[in-house]
Structure 1
C-alpha cells in the first residue's frame, strides 16, 4: 500500500478559499464616455478586484481603443486586465500578432471567444479561425514560443460558458461538450454569460462536472437595475427574465426605487451562485460603478486578506516620483 500523501495530511489546505472578484469594462466610444469610464475605473479599483476584463468588438472592430485601455490600466492603475479576444474574421497569423502585442504590453490573461458571426450572413474570410477552441490552441502555441519571456507569469486563458442554451446550439448538452473541448484545448477557467434565474448556474455546473469539466466556472452577474437593459440582454441571451422582476421594475415610480429592486434581485442571484459553490463573481458593469458597488456592498464575499494595500503602494510611488 502506498504511504499517505504529505499533502493529504495537512487538513488546513481544505479551508474556505477566497472568492474571486472581477468586473467587465468596455472601451469608450467618445471623450465624454472616456471621462465617465475613468471615474468608474478609479471607484472599482478601490475594491481591489482580482482582475477586470476588457471587451473586444466583433472582428476586432475596436481593437485599437481596447489595446489603449488595457495599456493605460497596466501603466496607471493597480488593476490586472483580462483581454477579450475574438477569432471570427481573423487568420491565425493576424491573431498571433495581436496576442504577441497583448503580451508585450504585459497582459497575462486572455478571454478567448469566437465572436459574433457577420450579421449580413457573409462567410468569414478564407483562412480565418472558426471556433474559440482554435483560438485557445493558438494562444498556447504563442505562449510556448515565448516561454522564456513568461517565466514570471504564464498566460491564463478564459472562455465563455452558457447557463442556458446558446442561441446557435442544438442543446444545452452540446454547449457542455463545447466547454469540455475548450478545456481540453487549454482553457483555465470559464465565465458565464448573463442568467436571470437562480437555478441556472447550479444546473450548468452540475451538467459540466458530470461531463468531465473541472475548470472553475465563474458566474457573470449583471446588475438588474434597468428594465431596458434587462430586456435587451434577455433577447441576446435567448432567455426570459423572471416575470415578477420585470413587473416590479416596470411598476417602480423612481429610478431609486428601480435601483433598490434590481440590486436586491442581483444580490439574490449572486448569493444563489455562491451557495452552489461559485469560485468567484464577475460583475458586468456597463462602465457604470454605482450599481455594481451597491451589489458588492450587500455581498459577504470572503476576500483575501492583503498584507498591504496595492493602492497605497502605487500612490506612494507616484508621490515620490512627483
Structure 2
C-alpha cells in the first residue's frame, strides 16, 4: 500500500528583538506548536547580526518544545572557518535542518566579501562538515533547504539565471527549496514549470506572507523588487476596521496559497513575523489536512 502523503506545513520565526518581545514570541510559539507543523525556520539579521539570539532560540525550541527547527545560515561577510564553526555548533546542539542562504549584506559589506560567496558553496560546505560527523549523526543526514524566487532575484540578471542557480544548489546537496514572498499565484506556477524544464527535482515550497498589512506589503515588495497590486493595497488602506483589514488580507492569502496547492505545491511555509493570529486564520481557512498524531510506541 502506498503511504498517504499530506501537505507540509511550516512557519518562519525570528529571535526576539529585546526582553519585552520574549513573552509575545513564546505565546506565538505555543499557539503554532499546537498545529503540529513539520518544522519552523529561525532567521536572523543581515550578516548574522543577532546570531547568538537565534542560536538561543533554536536551543529553546529543541529543549522546551516538540518543534523541529530549521536554522537559517547565511554566508555573506563570513569566513569559511567561521561558517564551519557555526555549522558544528548547530549540529552539536541537535539541529538537523539548515536553510542555506547567501544572505543580504548590511551597509558597508559587499555580498561577495566572505570566503563562501554563494549559497551553493554553503550547501557544499554543510555537506562537508556533515561528512565528518556521520557517527555523531547516527549515520543520518542533515536536511538542507535553499531559497527559490518566484520572481527575479533583485541581484540576478534574469529569471533564467535564477533557475540555473537553483539547479546548482540541488546538484551539491540541497533537499528542498522555499520561495521568497510572491503576490500572484501565476508567479509560483511559472517558477515550478521553469524549474522542472531545467531539470530541478527537489520540492519547491511556496513561502506565503499573510497579506494583512499594507505597510508590510509595501516594504517587502520594495525589498524583493515585486510590484504590489495597487487596488488590493487600497482595499487594505480603506478598510473600516482592523478586523475588516485582517479579513481582506487573510482571504487574499488563502486564495494565493490554495492556488499554489492546486498547482501541486508540496505544502505551505507561512512567514509569521512572530504573530500567530493572521497565520492561524490563514491555516484555518485553508483547511490544510494534517497527518494523524501517532506516537512511536503506537506504531511498533
TM-score by length of 1: 0.89
User: Does 2:21 match 1:39?
Assistant: no
Query: 2:260 — aligned with what?
Result: 273
Matches within 5 A, 1:281-300: 281-300=268-287
Secondary structure, in 3 states, of the residue corresponding to 1:160? strand
Q: CA deviation at 1:303?
A: 1.5
Q: Are the aligned partners of 2:134 and 2:140 in contact in 1 as well (CA < 8 Å)?
A: no
Query: 1:194 — aligned with what?
Result: 181
CA 1:32–1:220: 2 relative to 1, 3 Å: same
Q: CA deviation at 1:291?
A: 0.5
User: Does 2:100 match 1:112?
Assistant: yes
RMSD of equivalent CA atoms: 1.6
Flag structure 1 segments of 5+ consecutive residues without an equivalent: 1-11, 311-322
* Of 137, 153, 156, the match for 1:166: 153
User: Does 2:231 match 1:231?
Assistant: no
Aligned length: 297
Q: Are the aligned partners of 1:129 and 1:135 in contact in 2 as well (CA < 8 Å)?
A: yes
Q: CA deviation at 1:178?
A: 0.4
Segment drifting more, 195-204 vs 56-65: 56-65
User: Does 2:202 match 1:215?
Assistant: yes
User: Does 2:70 match 1:85?
Assistant: no
Segment drifting more, 236-245 vs 194-203: 236-245
Q: Deviations over 1:223-261 (max 9, x none)?
A: 000110011111011111223311211110111110000
CA 1:301–1:83: 2 relative to 1, 3 Å: same
Q: Are the aligned partners of 1:59 and 1:89 in contact in 2 as well (CA < 8 Å)?
A: yes
The whole-number CA distance in structure 1 between the counterparts of 2:292 and 2:139 is 23
Q: CA deviation at 1:170?
A: 0.7
Q: CA deviation at 1:139?
A: 0.1
CA 1:121–1:85: 2 relative to 1, 3 Å: closer
Query: 1:306 — aligned with what?
Result: 293
CA 1:16–1:202: 2 relative to 1, 3 Å: farther
Q: CA deviation at 1:121?
A: 5.8
Q: CA deviation at 1:309?
A: 10
Larger radius of gyration: 1
Query: 1:5 — aligned with what?
Result: none
CA 1:263–1:35: 2 relative to 1, 3 Å: same
Secondary structure, in 3 states, of the residue corresponding to 1:23? strand
Secondary structure, in 3 states, of the residue corresponding to 1:298? helix
Flag structure 2 segments of 5+ consecutive residues without an equivalent: none
Q: Deviations over 1:42-93 (max 9, x none)?
A: 0000001010000022111111100000000000000000000000111111
Matches within 5 A, 1:27-66: 27-66=15-54
The whole-number CA distance in structure 1 between the counterparts of 2:31 and 2:73 is 25
Q: CA deviation at 1:124?
A: 5.3
The whole-number CA distance in structure 1 between the counterparts of 2:112 and 2:123 is 19
